[in-house]
Amino acid sequence: MLDVSNLKVCYGQSEVIHGLDFSVKKNETLAIMGRNGMGKTTLFKSLIGVLPSSDGVISVDGVDVSDSESYQRVENGIAYVPQGRMIFPNLTVQENIETGMGVSKTKQVPDEIYALFPVLQEMRHRKGGNLSGGQQQQLAIARALVTNPKVLLLDEPTEGIQPSIIKDIANVLNEIKKIRDITIIVSEQVLSFTMAVADRIIVIDKGNFIHEGLRDDVDTEHIKKYLSV
């Protein structure tokens, strides 16, 4: 569903992502794990097209999107939940979700979305900025899902969120997998979360992949070593 080859990303003269190759299948969840500053956000921004890549090919369901603008990549089936969530604090919950929906269509948030996130239905007339961090994360995921993505990217969805809500987010991602044909790629530092959602785990270190394994084969102590400072 997503194929990436020889992806390189630079800030000015400094290359931060060094020729990554990976593929993610339909209905597969991949976790990309790495410490602070290892290149997770840079990789995700280049996949959605808010940062240009300096080399490589990105294709979604067989369509080469390497030279496409972000909005075209969304049309081709990529959705992005940014680190820090980036919801609109002065728009209501419902309006935030609607920003993910096409402007021409009659705007109605699908029932499926409120079924996945009952708290968002309860709070639909509240300002996004007045939600808790965990609720804002759910809102950011809802806003991404209304584009009906083939590939959903989530950049550190558990950052700054308390353990009980982290479990809720893991449950919701697993529920989404059950009801939709979707490929999920999540960047993370929290191993218990990735063990609960991912089929496969890759470790990124200074813009290179240094370890890869199926969740069922993962030696958690081994992965923890890569994640600790």
Ligand X SMILES: Nc1ncnc2c1ncn2[C@@H]1O[C@H](COP(=O)(O)OP(=O)(O)OP(=O)(O)O)[C@@H](O)[C@H]1O
Count the site residues for Mg ion by CB under 5 A.
3
Choices 36-44, 59-67, 93-101, 121-129 (CB under 6 A): range interacting with ligand X = 36-44
Choices 39-47, 106-114, 122-130, 164-172 (CB under 6 A): range interacting with ligand X = 39-47
By CB under 5 A, tell whether 189 contacts Mg ion: no
Question: What's the first-to-final CA gap in the chain, in angstroms?
Answer: 34
9-194-100-133 Cα dihedral, nearest 10 degrees:
-110
Give the contact letters, 46-85, x = binds to Mg ion (CB under 5 A), - = no.
-------------------------------------x--
By CB under 6 A, tell whether 100 contacts ligand X: no
* 127 DSSP assignment: B
Question: Closest distance between ligand X and the C-beta of residue 6, in Å?
Answer: 18
The answer to whether 53 and 8 are in contact (CB under 8 A) is yes
Q: Among residues 3, 38, 35, 9, which one has the least CA distance to residue 22?
A: 3
By CB under 6 A, tell whether 40 contacts ligand X: yes
Distance, C-alpha 96 to centroid of its chain: 17
By CB under 5 A, tell whether 41 contacts Mg ion: yes
| Cα distance between residue 1 and residue 25, in whole Å | 5
| Cα distance between residue 168 and residue 96, in whole Å | 21
By CB under 6 A, tell whether 158 contacts ligand X: no
Residue of the chain from 5, 27, 83, 148 that contacts ligand X (CB under 6 A) = 83
Given phi > 0 = left and psi -120 to 50 = alpha, else beta, which region is 207?
A: left
Q: Among residues 144, 202, 134, 224, which one has the least CA distance to residue 170?
A: 134
Neighbouring residues of 221: CB distance < 8 A, sequence distance ≥ 6: none
Give the contact letters, 2-31, x = binds to ligand X (CB under 6 A), - = no.
---------x----x---------------
By CB under 6 A, tell whether 38 contacts ligand X: yes
Partner touching 74 among ligand X, Mg ion, none, CB below 5 to 8 Å by kind: none
Partner touching 11 among ligand X, Mg ion, none, CB below 5 to 8 Å by kind: ligand X
Partner touching 194 among ligand X, Mg ion, none, CB below 5 to 8 Å by kind: none
95-137-150-220 Cα dihedral, nearest 10 degrees:
180
Where on the chain is the footprint of ligand X (CB under 6 A)?
11, 16, 34, 36-42, 83
Where on the chain is the footprint of Mg ion (CB under 5 A)?
40-41, 83
